[in-house]
């Protein structure tokens, strides 16, 4: 189960990186931001399952990633609510919780990827 979840984490994370690159290179539009939001829902779900495995190091990595995603989603929803953007509108904010790349790398390395 652990290896399957780690593989799923890597797949969803890589998809997220591709979506983010598209977002950055194509006007930072709301349509791509929505795709990122959906990707982060999937990622958070996998991380929550990984946390149930009881490994302290995995839990710490998952916790820092979930904390970032939760803060990012909260900011995202607030901005969406205030702007009510069209799919083609620019949608940009700076996350209040920096992305914990070290946690991503740790989980990716555990997967054998």
pLDDT of 12 > 90? The answer is yes
pLDDT at 25: 98
pLDDT at 94: 87
Average pLDDT over residues 64-90: 97
pLDDT at 11: 97
How would you class 68 by CB atoms within 10 Å of its CB: exposed for 0-12, middle for 13-18, buried for 19 or more? buried
pLDDT of 14 > 70? The answer is yes
Name the phi and psi angles at 68, rounded to 5. Answer: -60, -50
pLDDT of 112 > 90? The answer is no
pLDDT tens-place string over residues 36-50 = 999 999 999 999 999
What are the sequence ranges of the domains in the chain?
A: 2-111
């Amino acid at each position: 189960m652990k290896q399957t979840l780690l593989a799923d984490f890597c797949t969803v994370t890589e998809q997220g990186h591709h979506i983010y690159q598209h977002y950055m290179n194509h006007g930072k539009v709301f349509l791509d931001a929505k795709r990122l939001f959906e990707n982060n829902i999937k990622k958070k779900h996998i991380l929550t399952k990984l946390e149930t495995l009881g490994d302290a190091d995995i839990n710490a990595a998952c916790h820092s990633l979930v904390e970032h995603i939760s803060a990012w989603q909260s900011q995202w929803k607030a901005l969406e609510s205030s702007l009510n953007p069209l799919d083609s509108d620019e949608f940009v904010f700076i996350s209040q919780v920096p992305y914990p790349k070290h946690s991503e790398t740790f989980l990716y390395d555990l997967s054998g990827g």
